DNA sequence: AGATTAAGAAACCCAAACGTCTCCTAAGTG
DNA sequence: CACTTAGGAGACGTTTGGGTTTCTTAATCT
């Protein structure tokens, strides 16, 4: 569809690298990590295997790099109309992200976490940690404003929302509606932090 | 260790099948689904590839069967001293199971869920559903006894505990202490269902 | 005991990928 | 424009594993 297949343009540096990363993610989403191959990646990126090996030592390295750079959107939510609204916004964005192609990518890769410590660390640092951090910030600002009990902001309370979202989107493949998000906030999170 | 490697015993039927299933699970826990091979399974089970293909059509079928039959321990918790104790017991057992070798098996396999609907369904039915069910039963009995607000027993509230446990044990590879379990129950679950 | 079934071992063929290497030439550099 | 760099294409040799087949012989059945 991109005109005749004549003498193709040749990409370099950043542009090429970005195209390869895209191909890795697309391939992961399409065939899964089990069937991810360098040849498949090269074909989808319309490049050559040698180009891949020129930059990364192994499939694992390439996957780590691709996942690593694909996920730094920080999910930082600025305060809006109080805790409840902030939590709904934050979890909603999270659900949004996890339902898209990135959700499939994460699902494909996480099975191998136990056997690839680097992947596990990268994922933990890039995927989980920043989201948990930004969500904790939401709670803590609310606590500072006196909207919630300060003592209620524990690790498990902070984890609860993301865990539920994750399990629905990634593991069960469901798509959470905004009503669902509100239900999670109202039924689980708010009761845990509401001042008595 | 089992005497000289003379003419080996030859297993059949149920016994052999069980040994193969064990091998599949052990292999999954050891090398992950990405590197799971029929040859590896056969070697670990001390049997022949032909024996495997005589019974299952593909690696996928074998994995499905192995996971399927390995997980029917129902996790039904009988009522003890009230909701709190019941929840602690149920989640504790869940955490126990997920921290063992079965946890690694689940982690290995779930990446390919999106690409193997049968696996996904089998896992959902065998792993997730029964646990959610038994936990909901705990809540509902408590509601019937008047210990908690009946309206509080929603799907998300029921999911909350398992989701948190899952994300800690399987995804993060952490080992939850009984204190952790109590914290989850006290900080997240009880506030959600406590009668006002 | 003799007959039947199927486990185990091994050889086999074949396709897919790996990882390497060579060649050509487009894209950048001065 | 000459020169350097590195991407694209493809051909390799090799390994791994899939899946089949053959053969021997335990285990089970009648």
* pLDDT top residue among B92 and B113: B92
Q: Which nucleotides of chain D are near protein (any atom < 7 Å from a CB)?
A: 6-11, 16-22, 25-28
Q: Give the SS3 label for residue A136.
A: helix
pLDDT-derived band at A75, boundaries 50, 70, 90: low
Backbone phi and psi for residue A12, each to the nearest 5 degrees, phi listed first: -145, 170
Residue B116 phi/psi, 5-degree rounding, is -140, 85
Q: What is the pLDDT of residue A98?
A: 87
- How far off is chain B from A157, nearest CA to CA, in Å? 6
pLDDT at B130: 84
> What is the C-alpha separation between A58 and A77, in angstroms, rounded?
37
Tens of pLDDT along B170-185?
888 889 999 999 999 9
User: Which residues of A fall within a CB distance of 8 Å from B194?
Assistant: 191
pTM: 0.87
B75, pLDDT greater than 70: no
Angle subtended by helix axes B155-166 and B82-99, to nearest 10: 40
Q: Which residue has the higher pLDDT, B110 or B157?
A: B157
Helix H or strand E segment including B142: helix B129-144
According to the model, what pLDDT value does residue A43 have? 97
Torsion region of A78: left, alpha or beta (phi above 0 gives left; psi -120 to 50 gives alpha):
beta
Q: Which protein residues have any CB–strand C distance under 7 A?
A: A 7, 9-10, 12-13, 35, 37-40, 48-50, 53, 58-59; B 8, 10-13, 16, 46-51, 54-55
pLDDT at B1 over 50: no
CB B107 within 8 A of CB A113: yes
Q: Which of A129, A127, A124, A131 is nearest to A76 (CA)?
A: A131
pLDDT at position B80 is 77
Which one of A105-109, B160-164, B166-170 scores highest in mean pLDDT?
A: B160-164
Question: For A127, phi and psi rounded to 5 degrees?
Answer: -95, -55
Of B114, B156, B172, the CB nearest to A173: B114
DSSP letters, B6-61, are -S-----HHHHHHHHHHHHHHHHHHH-GGG--HHHHHHHHTS-HHHHHHH-SSHHH
In percent, the amount of chain A with pLDDT more than 70 equals 93
What is the reported pLDDT for B2? 39
d(CA B75, CA B102): 14
Which residues lie below 8 Å from residue B46, measured CB to CB, with a gap of 6+? B8, B19
3-state SS class at B164 = helix
Residues near A130 by beta carbon (within 8 Å), at least 6 away in sequence: A72, A74, A75
List alpha helices for B111-167, DSSP H: 117-123, 129-144, 155-166
Q: What is the pLDDT of residue A153?
A: 97
DSSP state of A133: H
Query: Which helix H or strand E contains A86, and what residues bound it?
Result: helix A82-99
Q: What confidence category does residue A72 fall into, taking pLDDT thresholds of 50, 70 and 90?
A: low
Contact B90, B58 (CB under 8 A): no
Cβ distance B154 to A180 less than 8 Å, yes or no, reads no
Please give the pLDDT value at position A3: 42
CB B105 within 8 A of CB B70: yes
Average pLDDT over residues B90-95: 92
Select, from the ranges A94-98, A111-115, B107-111, B155-159, the one with the highest average predicted confidence (pLDDT): B155-159
Chain B: residues touching A (Cβ < 8 Å): 31-35, 104, 107-115, 120, 124, 128, 152, 154, 156-157, 159-160, 162-164, 166-168, 171-173, 180, 183-184, 187-188, 191-192, 194
């Amino acid at each position: 569809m991109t005109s005749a297949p004549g003498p193709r343009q040749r990409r370099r540096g950043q542009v090429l690298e970005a195209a390869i990363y895209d191909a890795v993610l697309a391939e992961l989403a399409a065939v899964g990590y089990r069937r991810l191959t360098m040849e498949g990646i090269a074909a989808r990126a319309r490049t050559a295997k040698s180009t891949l090996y020129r930059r990364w030592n192994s499939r694992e390295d390439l996957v780590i790099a691709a996942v690593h750079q694909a996920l730094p959107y920080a999910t930082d939510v600025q305060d809006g109309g109080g805790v409840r609204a902030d939590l709904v916004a934050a979890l909603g964005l999270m659900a949004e992200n996890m339902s898209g192609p990135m959700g499939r990518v994460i699902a494909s890769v996480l099975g191998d976490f136990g056997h690839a410590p680097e992947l596990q660390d990268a994922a933990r640092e890039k995927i989980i940690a920043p989201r948990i951090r930004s969500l904790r910030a939401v709670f803590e600002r609310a606590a500072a404003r006196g909207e919630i009990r300060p003592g209620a902001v524990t690790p498990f309370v902070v984890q609860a929302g993301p865990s539920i979202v994750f399990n629905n989107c990634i593991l069960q493949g469901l798509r959470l509606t905004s009503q669902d998000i509100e239900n999670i906030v109202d039924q689980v999170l708010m009761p845990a932090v509401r001042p008595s």
